[in-house]
């Protein structure tokens, strides 16, 4: 039962550092300037803000894949010189059907279709009747896999789009098979966020038909910004997926969006602009032509610019969308809730009241039942609370009401550990051991039990943190941190305080 001076200084330094890390949460300006300035961020339920529940349109995803498959089949058959008639896609049955012009080409068609599967193994089933009627049906397993991948990718893109707006501490998580939860603390009017999330942002670059005001085969009439319609050739010359960066910029006194392509995009852009000098080049965003400049000269630097009637905000938003990437399927807001600041303040008051009341009751209990040793346990509890807040501040974590409940539960667990130590010491005193022996044996016997129980709780809450979402995750975070600080304050700090008291007083009887 001995603590070296160096060890005690280390413990005291750690406690002092915890206090310094906590102080920014209660001050407006940094102090002193050389210290790190980290604060705990408040969650939606404490700070107020907006809650959005988004649904991924998996039907649109399935329809897009079916149309893409139809286009692939047409191209593949034409490339192989295989004739067909009456090709059509049927979203209701998730199939593409057509008739062979020559039933004798059955084997060649089957070979060509089997070569189309790329993204998912065995993506579709193929059936060809003796009369030459071909049905290509998307398999359910492939659709499920594609939907799962689309939701995962949508979450990543939603996160990138929201992060680009500067929103602090957003929570983005999956709910069920096709829904995404978005929590935005401090944002009471999320209209801009909704606009960003409601845009698929699929950008493509096309050539226009020779006479763009008339419908022609191989082209689609798409609306423009001014309400007209233009015949845009179907082949995608450059895909927005090949963008490397996008930024809002000023060009000739007007706002524009500057584009930078990756290697593949730069090569495609150089090829198409070199071969089509003097022709209009349509930039299409989500089925709408946003601009169609004339190619004046080959563009080989892999960079371009979108100009139009942009404001500073709309140019910045378009750049955000393009940098984040296109959503694999449209998102729909199915639920929206706003939590006002006053409700958040009420939650803070309620949380602090419950935390303060619980702490006061625990402190009183320990003082009444264990006297001086209870006083040392109370000091350890206070330091425990400070250390939890310090760790949360250091990582700038978000604190929610469930997180506050986790802190309160942690204090209860810390009290249990201190009670176990004190009762062990009492037991040794009853057995007639001398004060120093009682202290040493009591701590040794309690330590193993405390470590075992906290280790199992730690593992359980780590699993909750890893696999949980939202409130469960924050609850698990505070308890996981609290278990670590509890072990330190109970087995190190509390023990050090008792040892220092014993070394100075050398009592004949322990006040426990």
DSSP label of 240: G
Whole-angstrom CA distances from 275 to 207, 262, 295 are 11, 20, 10
Of 330, 251, 255, 323, give the one whose Cα is nearest residue 286. Answer: 330
Domain end residue (candidates: 126, 144, 162) = 144
Strand (E) or helix (H) holding 286 = none
Q: Is 428:442 a contact under the CB 8 Å cutoff?
A: yes
Q: What is the DSSP string of 16-32?
A: HHHHHHHGGGG-SS-SS
Greatest extent of the chain over all pairs of C-alpha atoms, in Å: 108
Whole-angstrom distance, CA of residue 346 vs CA of residue 323: 39
- The pLDDT tens digits for 206-252 are 999 988 888 888 888 999 888 889 999 988 888 888 888 899 888 77
CATH of the domain at 221: 3.30.1360.200
Same domain, 355 and 501: yes
Domain end residue (candidates: 144, 172, 191) = 144
CA 48 remoteness from chain centre: 19
Whole-angstrom distance, CA of residue 438 vs CA of residue 451: 20
CA 232 remoteness from chain centre: 37
Domain range for residue 495?
Answer: 5-43+344-505
Q: Is residue 303 part of a domain?
A: yes
Whole-angstrom CA distances from 18 to 11, 27, 28, 386, 392 are 11, 15, 18, 6, 11
Domain count, the chain: 3
pLDDT band at 349 (very low <50, low <70, confident <90, very high): confident
DSSP label of 489: I
Q: What is the DSSP string of 48-60?
A: -EEEEEEEE-HHH
Same domain, 350 and 498: yes
Strand (E) or helix (H) holding 166 = none
pLDDT band at 30 (very low <50, low <70, confident <90, very high): low
Q: Is 38:17 a contact under the CB 8 Å cutoff?
A: no
Half-sphere exposure (Cβ direction) of 366: Cα atoms closer than 13 Å: 28
Q: Is residue 163 part of a domain?
A: no
Pairing relation of β-strands 281-285 and 331-339? unpaired
Whole-angstrom CA distances from 182 to 49, 152, 267, 275 are 11, 14, 38, 45
Strand blocks (E) in 208-327 = 219-223, 229-233, 238-239, 243-251, 254-261, 281-285, 288-291, 303-310
Q: Is residue 149 part of a domain?
A: no
Same domain, 477 and 365: yes
Per-residue pLDDT for 386 more than 90? Answer: yes
Partner residues linked to 182 by β-bridges? 52, 172
pLDDT band at 31 (very low <50, low <70, confident <90, very high): low
Q: Is residue 397 part of a domain?
A: yes
Q: What is the DSSP string of 70-127?
A: HHHHHHHHHHHT--EEEEEEETTTTEEEEEESSGGGHHHHHHHHHTT--SSTT-EEEE
Averaged pLDDT for residues 442-466: 92
Q: Is residue 324 part of a domain?
A: no
Whole-angstrom CA distances from 206 to 140, 218, 275, 408, 424 are 33, 12, 13, 61, 80
Half-sphere exposure (Cβ direction) of 93: Cα atoms closer than 13 Å: 10
Partner residues linked to 255 by β-bridges? 250, 310
pLDDT band at 119 (very low <50, low <70, confident <90, very high): very low
- The pLDDT tens digits for 262-289 are 998 899 889 999 999 989 989 898 888 9
Residue 202 phi, psi (nearest 5): -90, 110
Pairing relation of β-strands 41-42 and 398-399? parallel
Strand (E) or helix (H) holding 207 = strand 203-207
- The pLDDT tens digits for 354-367 are 878 888 888 898 88
3-state SS assignment for residue 46: helix
Same domain, 37 and 62: no
Same domain, 25 and 117: no
Higher pLDDT, 119 or 143: 143
Round the CA-based radius of gyration of the chain to a whole number and report it.
33
Q: Is residue 165 part of a domain?
A: no
Per-residue pLDDT for 181 more than 50? Answer: yes
Per-residue pLDDT for 461 more than 90? Answer: yes
Of 415, 317, 432, 407, give the one whose Cα is nearest residue 356. Answer: 407
What's the confidence (pLDDT) of residue 33? 67
Of 123, 378, 377, 16, give the one whose Cα is nearest residue 113. Answer: 123
What is the distance between the terminal CA atoms of the chain, rounded to a whole angstrom?
18
Per-residue pLDDT for 342 more than 80? Answer: no
Per-residue pLDDT for 316 more than 70? Answer: yes
Same domain, 211 and 248: yes
Q: Is residue 326 part of a domain?
A: no
CATH of the domain at 78: 3.30.1240.20
Higher pLDDT, 374 or 199: 374
Same domain, 234 and 100: no
Whole-angstrom distance, CA of residue 439 vs CA of residue 495: 9
pLDDT band at 477 (very low <50, low <70, confident <90, very high): very high
Whole-angstrom distance, CA of residue 273 vs CA of residue 279: 9
Whole-angstrom distance, CA of residue 458 vs CA of residue 446: 18
Per-residue pLDDT for 126 more than 90? Answer: no
Q: Is residue 436 part of a domain?
A: yes
Same domain, 391 and 500: yes
Same domain, 74 and 128: yes
Domain end residue (candidates: 144, 163, 178) = 144
Whole-angstrom distance, CA of residue 438 vs CA of residue 444: 10
Same domain, 68 and 25: no
Same domain, 34 and 73: no
Same domain, 289 and 227: yes
What's the confidence (pLDDT) of residue 459? 94
- By mean pLDDT, which of 146-150, 387-391, 457-461 is the weakest? 146-150
CATH of the domain at 444: 1.20.1640.10
Higher pLDDT, 121 or 259: 259
Residue 206 phi, psi (nearest 5): -135, 160
What's the confidence (pLDDT) of residue 406? 92
Highest mean predicted confidence (pLDDT) among 105-114, 319-328, 378-387, 392-401: 378-387
What's the confidence (pLDDT) of residue 451? 93
């Amino acid at each position: 039962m001995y603590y070296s001076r160096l060890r005690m200084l280390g413990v005291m330094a750690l406690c002092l550092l915890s206090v310094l890390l906590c102080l920014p949460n209660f001050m407006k300006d940094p102090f002193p300037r050389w210290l790190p300035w980290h604060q705990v961020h408040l969650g939606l339920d404490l700070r107020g803000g907006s809650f959005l529940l988004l649904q991924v349109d998996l039907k649109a995803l399935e329809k897009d894949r079916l149309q893409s498959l139809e286009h692939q089949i047409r191209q593949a058959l034409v490339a192989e010189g295989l004739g067909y008639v009456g090709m059509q896609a049927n979203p209701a049955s998730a199939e593409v059907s057509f008739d062979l012009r020559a039933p004798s080409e059955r084997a060649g068609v089957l070979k060509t279709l089997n070569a189309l599967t790329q993204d998912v193994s065995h993506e579709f089933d193929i059936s060809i009747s003796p009369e030459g009627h071909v049905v290509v049906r998307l398999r359910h397993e492939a659709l499920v896999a594609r939907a799962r991948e689309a939701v995962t990718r949508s979450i990543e893109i939603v996160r990138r789009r929201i992060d680009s707006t500067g929103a602090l501490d957003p929570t983005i998580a999956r709910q069920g098979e096709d829904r995404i939860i978005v929590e935005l603390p401090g944002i009471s009017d999320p209209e801009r966020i909704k606009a960003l999330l409601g845009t698929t942002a699929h950008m493509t670059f096309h050539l226009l038909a020779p006479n763009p005001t008339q419908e022609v085969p191989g082209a689609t009439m798409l609306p423009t910004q001014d309400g007209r319609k233009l015949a845009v050739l179907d082949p995608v010359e450059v895909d927005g997926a090949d963008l490397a960066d996008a930024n809002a910029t000023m060009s000739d006194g007007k706002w524009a969006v500057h584009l930078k392509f990756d290697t593949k995009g730069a090569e495609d852009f150089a090829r198409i602009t070199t071969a089509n000098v003097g022709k209009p080049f349509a930039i299409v965003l989500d089925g709408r032509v946003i601009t169609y400049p004339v190619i004046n000269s080959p563009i080989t630097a892999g960079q371009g610019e979108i100009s139009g009637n942009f404001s500073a905000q709309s140019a910045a938003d378009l750049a955000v969308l393009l940098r984040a990437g296109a959503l694999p399927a449209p998102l729909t807001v199915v639920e929206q809730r706003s939590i006002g600041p006053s409700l958040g303040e009420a939650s803070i008051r309620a949380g602090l009241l419950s935390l303060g009341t619980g702490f006061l009751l625990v402190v009183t209990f320990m003082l009444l039942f264990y006297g001086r040793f209870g006083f040392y346990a109370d000091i350890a509890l206070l330091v425990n609370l400070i250390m939890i807040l310090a760790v949360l501040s250091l990582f700038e974590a978000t604190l929610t009401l469930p997180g506050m409940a986790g802190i309160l539960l942690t204090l209860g667990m810390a009290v249990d550990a201190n009670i176990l130590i004190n009762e062990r010491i009492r037991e040794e005193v009853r057995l007639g051991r001398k004060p120093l022996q009682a202290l040493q044996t009591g701590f040794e016997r309690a330590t193993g039990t405390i470590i075992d129980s906290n280790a199992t709780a730690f593992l359980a809450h780590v699993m909750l943190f890893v696999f949980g979402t939202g409130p469960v995750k924050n609850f698990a975070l505070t308890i996981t941190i609290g278990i670590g600080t509890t072990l330190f304050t109970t087995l190190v700090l509390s023990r050090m305080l008792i040892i220092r008291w014993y070394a100075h007083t050398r009592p004949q009887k322990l006040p426990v």
